[in-house]
Amino acid sequence: MIRSVISATGSYIPENRITNEHFSNTRFFEKDGAESTRSNESTIRKFQEITGIAERRYAREDQVASDLAYLSAVDALNSSGIDGETLDYIIVAHNFGDIAYSKNRASTVPTLASRVKALLKIHNPDCVAYDLPFGCPGWVEGVIHANYFIRSGDAKRCLIIGAETLSRVIDSYDRDSMIYSDGAGAVIVEASYESNRGILSHKTQTFAVDHAMLLNMDKSYAHNKEGDNNLYLKMNGRKVYEFALTYVPLAIKEALTKAGVSIDDISKVIIHQANEKMDTAILDRLFALYGKTQMPEGLMPMTIGWLGNSSVATVATLLDLIRKGKLPGHTINPGDHHVFASVGAGMNINAIVYRY
């Protein structure tokens, strides 16, 4: 039996560290255009209590998303010694393409995947490069795509990257702007005939009819900002929270059932880092589905406190940090079962069950 195994990981964490104090003098507005009457000190304190975010990373002014994607790919290739010419697919998950600093205009032609392939100087024309816009679950979905290619015999080695520069599409007058960050993560997935390890199952869902617009692009909250025709990332935070708690645990449970893996055998749940309180509640709901009142300590590693929400990059970056021993208290051992899971714009949900 052919299985898809993770043979390498890489990431790029931007150098620009933006603490919550960065927003101390920001003018925040409400959705109706009225300026917030709450003090910034109170706003920031409540924000950190709910999300767990104390700081985030922004790309340099001379960088765009494809640059971050390329750097994470280089890390994966160099750390494994894999020759880029042997790749059958390069899949780049993102949502906004390349956006130059202070421009707020997306560039997606050519695709980011083609740009990355060119930067890597991969000449092999049979290495197919394409983009995958799928909301925050895009990187996880890219791994699912690669699994299908490998299991069908169409590919032996795939590079899947998640890269985003959310700092380029946020409305600085919206307090939700404090959530988002920039970064990139990558994995190389290969065909293996060791049937006892690799991707065991997955589950993907899209809830578009009732929930598609929970994350969307809209005008700035500062309605009096003349001449601003740009669109910015907007989120109905309360509804997203309710959606995630309702549907993500069910999707993970279905993936576990398909894999024939018990919840008690899971060593790590590597979940999209969107909101610490929300992620904790998702895991509590998941364990409640099995009649359990508490999840084990250390089951859910978190990076959101210092990296923020970098969308498609979060799960891949977290995995890379664990694999390379850069996340204290977290290791990976042979036989461990991991769940990779994400939720985001669309509204899309996905989950993978993986055995090491």
Question: pLDDT tens across 27-72, in order?
Answer: 998 888 888 888 898 999 999 999 999 999 999 999 999 999 999 9
For residue 250, the number of C-alpha atoms closer than 13 Å in the C-beta half-sphere is 7
Summarize the chain as % helix, strand, coil (round to 5).
35, 25, 35
| Domains, the chain, with CATH or none | 3-195 (3.40.47.10), 199-355 (3.40.47.10)
Q: Residue 144 is which amino acid? A: I
- Tokens encoding 205: 């869902």
Once rounded to an integer, what is the mean pLDDT over residues 221-233?
79
3-state secondary structure of 26: coil
Residue 296, pLDDT > 90, answer: no
Q: What is the mean pLDDT of the chain?
A: 94
Residue 87, pLDDT > 90, answer: yes
- Separation of alpha carbons 285 and 246, rounded Å: 8
Of 18-27, 33-42, 302-311, the poorest mean pLDDT is in 33-42
Angle at 261 between CA 283 and CA 345, to 5 degrees: 45
Q: Which of 27, 26, 33 is nearest to 220 (CA)?
A: 33
- Separation of alpha carbons 178 and 55, rounded Å: 9
Tell me, rounded to whole angstroms, the distance of Cα 298 from its chain centroid.
Answer: 20
**CB distance 247 to 285 below 8 Å:** no
Residue 172, pLDDT > 70, answer: yes
What confidence category does residue 10 fall into, taking pLDDT thresholds of 50, 70 and 90?
A: very high
Once rounded to an integer, what is the mean pLDDT over residues 132-159?
97
Angle at 210 between CA 351 and CA 146, to 5 degrees: 25
- Separation of alpha carbons 187 and 80, rounded Å: 11
- Separation of alpha carbons 230 and 212, rounded Å: 21
> What are the residue ranges of helices labelled H in the chain?
40-51, 65-80, 112-119, 138-151, 208-211, 237-259, 276-289, 304-307, 314-323
What confidence category does residue 224 fall into, taking pLDDT thresholds of 50, 70 and 90?
A: low
- Separation of alpha carbons 198 and 280, rounded Å: 26
Helices 237-259 and 276-289 cross at an angle (nearest 10°) of 40
Report yes or no on whether pTM surpasses 0.75: yes
- Separation of alpha carbons 340 and 328, rounded Å: 19
- Separation of alpha carbons 346 and 350, rounded Å: 12
Give the pLDDT confidence score for residue 118 in this predicted structure.
98
pLDDT in tens, 266-282: 999 999 999 999 999 99
Residue 225, pLDDT > 80, answer: no
Give the pLDDT confidence score for residue 43 in this predicted structure.
92
- Tokens encoding 102: 């202070």
